[in-house]
């Protein structure tokens, strides 16, 4: 079942399937380690669910909802 990274609940793990972002945003996400097959853990959500902290390959990164909605996970 394909869903967006922003829909994954806190404490859950998800596997990246593909990234729908374009150009510089896609390059940034790939540089952060968000590549196909990598696992992402949702650590916590900020106020109004706009900013979410994820753990990817041992690093913690924060993404806005509009960014995480462009990442399909399984």
Q: Which 8-state DSSP code applies to residue 49?
A: G
Residue ranges of alpha helices (H) inside 1-74 are 23-31, 65-68
1 has a pLDDT exceeding 80 = no
Q: What is the pLDDT of residue 9?
A: 95
Degrees, nearest 5: CA angle 24-9-1 = 75
Q: What is the mean pLDDT of residues 54-65?
A: 96
Structure tokens at 25: 């945003």
Taken in order of first residue, the domains within the chain and their CATH numbers are 3-73 (2.30.30.90)
pTM of whole model > 0.95?
Answer: no
């Amino acid at each position: 079942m394909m869903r967006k990274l922003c829909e994954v609940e806190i404490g859950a793990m998800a596997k990246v399937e593909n990234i729908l972002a374009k150009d510089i945003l896609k390059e940034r996400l790939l540089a952060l380690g968000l590549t196909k097959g990598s696992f992402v853990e949702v650590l916590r959500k900020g106020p109004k669910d706009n900013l979410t902290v994820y753990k990817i390959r041992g690093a913690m990164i924060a993404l806005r909802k509009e960014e995480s909605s462009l990442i399909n996970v399984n």
